[in-house]
Structure 1
């Protein structure tokens, strides 16, 4: 367990191992792996561990300090019985360490109903946030950046995969407000009607991945196994912005997409002045971190006492965006280098052939 000297942290950010590579970056795993018979035995031991502090989050000399608290459950185990209690225990560990704001990372938010199940019995004086409000605003910014890079000279077609989720709902509203031709994709028609049904007059609502082929930009907000994106799902020249954690499209598969001219980039990332993490979160850009972690930082800076859990209003996302700008926090630029060529409209490509 990592303990830092000095006063307790301003905030804590709960995360969990997304894959076995995450575990190998945690120093405490080395001894445990050494005394495990094989990978299965190693994972079995990890999945029964109590939450531990796995790293510090630093923001310049004398600035605020946060801690990363690892909820030691692999994604498939976290979704099963006991996952919610494991996250709740992580919250208690963070509070005992002195954190006044606790953020939920990766699947610790979905398994707790966007943080709502944690409210009952939450430690006194601790504010809980999913980070979804700022993530939605940053996702909107990412899409705008990608559309500008494509230089379409027509209305951009944007598909939102995971539109019914806690990030998807406010992000969908913000993208419609931007004036894009938006397709909202969810798992069921009923869920779509309940969460984004008010957008039906101005956006397409569908449950099929086949509609991804019509999009210039695909915003991916889910890593659900039934919604994994493959190269054949998208059209040549499209940009995919993967905001999901764990990611929907592993980096090892990016070459398959690039072979057909599809650019896959990490989204939902921000840059915070002076930011440094002592634990490697496996983000390509070492100066960036997750927007949900950024929101946790921002709420601790502002001394927030109101929980940010459950459904998020688009206006809340815009407010978080303004707070972020005030504190010098900005969306990290997308890795679109060498891909800023105009995208040929499908109708023009068909005419040329």
Structure 2
């Protein structure tokens, strides 16, 4: 008998959007849509204000008779979302309206809908529904994924965080500074924000640079950028480097593995949720979810009221979600087995340390 926990749970909605290959993603929802050329979709989505359709749903194994939430697809391309503007804000706002009408009490911002709304800050005025950008749990899950990879790297391995000043990046940087002793190389385009992040850490804990060529010094590269296409190239990686790609749409390409067969590329921010029954396409196998979606589901399970993670999340928000995930262990909510470009690359089991329990800081490292 599966225990019934979280008596104050409420339904959620999660916003997604077509990725760079619009036809492929829409074909995952309804196969004939995949036959339409991408250029047709690009032109139509730019010119026509389509409503945001419901393209999936969720139920929890411990209460399968109740809806746990819905997937809502925002009809915007990555390029439009990155460009922002009033039209983008209006369409995302209408998708949030749709979530509220369905009965959702919390809405999660998937992929580029988060940066398009300044990490959800542009929706702070919404008093009718709670909003979260999913970045707190993404930072927490990426931390655990990095710790798993570091176990196979040299004890003095350098970690490069590309996109360190972003919403996920800044939170993850602080978590890594507290929970590991590894040298940190912070990489971003805005030098002022980069130096401010470096200076907020203990003295000598990290270096900061705007030069992508310095990423070649790192053993583990954590990619946290928001871009339409690949930003990491083969010349940026040292021999035998490991890349943890935490981007959606992803900022690495499979061709990189052909150019550099010595390099490993691992998908970041993936959570195993066997107790969450999903209908609808998100580009992942059933039983696996992005951490931003898992955050939204956890907030719905716990009955959280109001907004949660807007703008840049705090490390304590990430820690709180780790606690909620441990409490929801009967539904899964554990670190997913290692995937690369959506494919399982290790046996389907949870390695030691994969569950969401607090990982102590090493001796001499300040939490």
TM-score under structure 1 length normalisation: 0.84
- 1:84-130 alpha-carbon deviations (Å, 9 max, x no partner): 2211111111111110110000010101011011122x251x11111
The number of residues matched between the two structures is 319
How has the CA–CA distance of structure 1 residues 134 and 31 changed in structure 2, closer, same or farther, with 3 Å as cutoff? Answer: closer
Q: Secondary structure at 2:148's aligned position in 1?
A: helix
Q: Aligned in 2, Cα 1:191/1:226: closer, same or farther, shift over 3 Å?
A: farther
Query: What corresponds to 1:190 in structure 2?
Result: 192
Q: Deviations over 1:319-347 (max 9, x none)?
A: 11111111111111324649xxxxxxxxx
Alignment of 1:185-334 (within 5 A): 185-199=187-201, 201=203, 202-224=205-227, 228-257=231-260, 259=261, 261-283=262-284, 285-308=285-308, 309-328=310-329, 329-334=333-338
1:210, 1:79 → 2: CA distance? 25
Distance 1:239 1:24, change over 3 A: same
> Structure 1 residues 13, 286: CA separation in 2 closer, same or farther (over 3 Å shift)?
same
Per-residue deviation, 1:225: 5.6
CA contact (8 A) 1:164 1:186 kept: yes
Deviation at 1:62, TM superposition (A): 3.3
Mean alpha-carbon deviation: is it higher for 40-49 or for 98-107? 40-49
Asked if structure 2 preserves the Cα contact closer than 8 Å seen for 1:169 and 1:196, the reply is no
Name the counterpart of 1:181: 183
* Distance apart, 1:159 and its partner CA: 0.6
TM-score, L = length of structure 2: 0.81
- Residue 64 of structure 1 and its aligned partner are, at CA, apart by 5.1
Q: Which moved more, 1:58-67 or 1:68-77?
A: 58-67
Of the three residues 96, 100, 103, the one matched with 1:98 is 103
My pick for the range that moved more, 176-185 or 217-226, is 217-226
- 1:350: which partner in 2? none
C-alpha RMSD of the superposition: 2.2
Q: Which of 129, 132, 138 is equivalent to 2:135?
A: 132
